[in-house]
Chains A and B, each alone.
Chain A
């Protein structure tokens, strides 16, 4: 089991556009990834509805989790994505 904890850098938090880019990246990775915020149970990170429902504001930490050979590489990429301000990415 691999995990990464990262602060969400996007100015609007994990909402609309950042949530859309993040969940698309998870889907493209082809592996099952979960995302947890605060004390709540982890949710499917490929679901834009569940990810948006977490209501993660700018600067809050989230924890990503995945299993398997690809897990470390994928989680590094996803953590890097969340570490960027996706509201300003063109």
Chain B
């Protein structure tokens, strides 16, 4: 029976299921060991094996995953953790119960300390889960070592699990929980790995079952038919063909729409072949800051910005200043005691508590501009008022930044977009956060993913209002949220007057095709159809119905 979820991406793939096992719980009434010394030895061996396994994984991992794995290995080797656990076992406590008590003690201590220590609790729990699995003889929790291209099926994937994945062997990711805007889904989108989330019954799929994962339809079909395989092959052929088109983004009658990429690192910029995109519409600079104990220096940042400007070879670069806080905490800037971090000191608001972060970053961007002779566009995240936009623009211009903009992701900014545009040179809409704040719905809350749909009429209204303000003032109004990567939404946005679309690079070919198949007037009609609907589902259906039928057929919409 075909399972239904919410898809991220467009591809369809077929492969065997590899399950990510959940963490084993301590058995209720876990038996007191008959031979305490033997059990203590077994627990000690489990600690050793877990540490060795993590180090072996670190040796073959790359990037940020290496330090995550090494730090976790060091915890598994920790003498205090072992001593306390083994002492409890020798005193007659059952092994996993003892382990839970000791890990729980450290976790409480770390949680109370807050900040950087609190962030290590995930590592502690990961050690706990791995050791407990060995002691109980259950399958290792977390992502198994993949030996062939596989469909990874999990209840949900923690960021560390995603980091540990050997992406060369991941055909697709299927999760029973999670939402389409969760970080796992976004990472999968960035890496062009098809992903289907919120698939009820996914965890019942047996290991090794061959499934057809259709990210476009959001379905998972066990033991797929020949017809499905043939349809996927045809879709892949069309995708390859569309990828060969490298013309500039424009409607059928030549109205230009900049097609840009979202990137997080200098390496991402290196991968953007000339012709594939017209530049970068969102450089998420917080990647430079995350996981560090102190902020990168002006020199360090300038070197990265210089490298990105150089890699792009004169193509457009829109840099977003540090967007930390909420779900992206920074050890040196985050307020540990916020009740509602998504509504707290995050993004541009950090100027209230750590103004030097923005000053250093703007200085570094000016240095990179000086070094390369290329002018980056620079924008601030989480702007809520005209005053904030004015202050940011003044600070950026003081440093010699010529083109200054702000993100529109707070409804207040969308409602006052025209007044904000009087202060800055451009705006860029972050549609995920905008939807989160318009709909009062945590974007990570899978349970409410219907509410946070970017097709919600209220979200579309604010996007339309912002785009209209851009047209009235003659200033660029772009979209750099995930919505730009949906070819149907891309046509709607074009019709609304959005001037640039920035997305995961893998999404560009289908978006380029969808826009090029419609005249500006046709795109406006598609936008009107979407705006006229009462519900999110009706809006998307109305937009699809208004598209040219060839496009619907070619893209299997």
Binding site for B on A (CB under 8 A): 10-12, 15-18, 20, 23-24, 27, 43-44, 46-50, 52-53, 55, 87
With a cutoff of 8 Å between Cβ atoms, the chain B residues found around residue A24 in the complex are: 74
With a cutoff of 8 Å between Cβ atoms, the chain B residues found around residue A18 in the complex are: 293
Interface majority SS (helix, strand, loop, mixed), chain A: helix
Instruction: Answer whether residue B110 sits at the interface, using C-beta atoms and an 8 A cutoff.
Output: yes
Q: Are B116 and A15 in contact (CB under 8 A)?
A: yes
| A43-B80, A47-B81 as given contacts; A52 in contact with B117, CB under 8 Å | yes
With a cutoff of 8 Å between Cβ atoms, the chain A residues found around residue B116 in the complex are: 12, 15-16
With a cutoff of 8 Å between Cβ atoms, the chain A residues found around residue B80 in the complex are: 43-44, 47, 49-50
CA–CA, A50 and B75, complex, Å? 11
Contact residue among B75, B117, B293, B294 (Cβ-Cβ distance under 8 Å from A55)? B117
Q: Are A87 and B117 in contact (CB under 8 A)?
A: no
CA–CA, A12 and B115, complex, Å? 12
CA–CA, A47 and B110, complex, Å? 14
Classify chain B: how many residues form its interface, as a range.
20 to 34
Instruction: Answer whether residue B528 sits at the interface, using C-beta atoms and an 8 A cutoff.
Output: no
CA–CA, A47 and B106, complex, Å? 12
CA–CA, A17 and B293, complex, Å? 8
Q: Are B79 and A87 in contact (CB under 8 A)?
A: no
Q: Are A11 and B117 in contact (CB under 8 A)?
A: no
Q: Are A53 and B78 in contact (CB under 8 A)?
A: no
| A46-B79, A47-B81, A49-B81 as given contacts; A12 in contact with B74, CB under 8 Å | no
Q: Are A53 and B293 in contact (CB under 8 A)?
A: no
Q: List 6 additional contacts besides A16-B116, A18-B293, A50-B80; criterion CB under 8 Å.
A: A15-B116, A44-B79, A49-B75, A49-B80, A49-B81, A53-B110
Taken residue by residue from 70 to 114, chain B's Cβ proximity to chain A (1 for < 8 Å, 0 otherwise) reads as 010011001111010000000000000000000000100110010
Interface majority SS (helix, strand, loop, mixed), chain B: helix
Binding site for A on B (CB under 8 A): 71, 74-75, 78-81, 83, 106, 109-110, 113, 116-117, 120, 124, 293-294, 331-332
CA–CA, A17 and B120, complex, Å? 12
CA–CA, A12 and B332, complex, Å? 9
CA–CA, A31 and B116, complex, Å? 29
**Shortest Cβ gap from A86 to chain B (Å):** 10
CA–CA, A47 and B124, complex, Å? 13
Q: Are B117 and A48 in contact (CB under 8 A)?
A: no
With a cutoff of 8 Å between Cβ atoms, the chain B residues found around residue A12 in the complex are: 116, 293-294, 331-332
User: What are 14 A-B contacts defined by CB distance under 8 Å?
Assistant: A10-B293, A11-B294, A12-B293, A15-B116, A15-B117, A20-B74, A44-B79, A44-B80, A46-B79, A47-B81, A48-B75, A49-B75, A52-B117, A53-B117
**Shortest Cβ gap from B86 to chain A (Å):** 14
Q: Are B74 and A48 in contact (CB under 8 A)?
A: yes
CA–CA, A76 and B170, complex, Å? 50
| A47-B79, A47-B81, A53-B113 as given contacts; A15 in contact with B293, CB under 8 Å | yes
With a cutoff of 8 Å between Cβ atoms, the chain A residues found around residue B71 in the complex are: 16, 20
CA–CA, A44 and B120, complex, Å? 19
CA–CA, A10 and B116, complex, Å? 15
**Shortest Cβ gap from B101 to chain A (Å):** 14
CA–CA, A11 and B80, complex, Å? 26
CA–CA, A55 and B110, complex, Å? 9
**Shortest Cβ gap from B88 to chain A (Å):** 16
Closest 9 CB pairs of A and B: A12-B293, A47-B80, A50-B80, A11-B294, A49-B78, A47-B79, A53-B109, A46-B79, A47-B78
| Residue among B109, B116, B293 with max Cβ neighbours from chain A (10 Å) | B293
CA–CA, A44 and B83, complex, Å? 11
CA–CA, A48 and B126, complex, Å? 16
Q: Are B294 and A87 in contact (CB under 8 A)?
A: yes
With a cutoff of 8 Å between Cβ atoms, the chain B residues found around residue A50 in the complex are: 80
**Shortest Cβ gap from A74 to chain B (Å):** 16
**Shortest Cβ gap from B85 to chain A (Å):** 12
Chain A residue at smallest Cβ distance from B332: A12
CA–CA, A87 and B110, complex, Å? 21
| Residue among A11, A47, A49 with max Cβ neighbours from chain B (10 Å) | A49
With a cutoff of 8 Å between Cβ atoms, the chain A residues found around residue B120 in the complex are: 16, 52
**Shortest Cβ gap from B411 to chain A (Å):** 37
**Shortest Cβ gap from B81 to chain A (Å):** 6
CA–CA, A10 and B124, complex, Å? 24
CA–CA, A52 and B331, complex, Å? 14
With a cutoff of 8 Å between Cβ atoms, the chain A residues found around residue B106 in the complex are: 49, 53
CA–CA, A60 and B337, complex, Å? 24
With a cutoff of 8 Å between Cβ atoms, the chain A residues found around residue B332 in the complex are: 12
CA–CA, A50 and B83, complex, Å? 12
Chain A residue at smallest Cβ distance from B124: A49
CA–CA, A53 and B332, complex, Å? 18
Contact residue among B79, B109, B124, B293 (Cβ-Cβ distance under 8 Å from A16)? B293
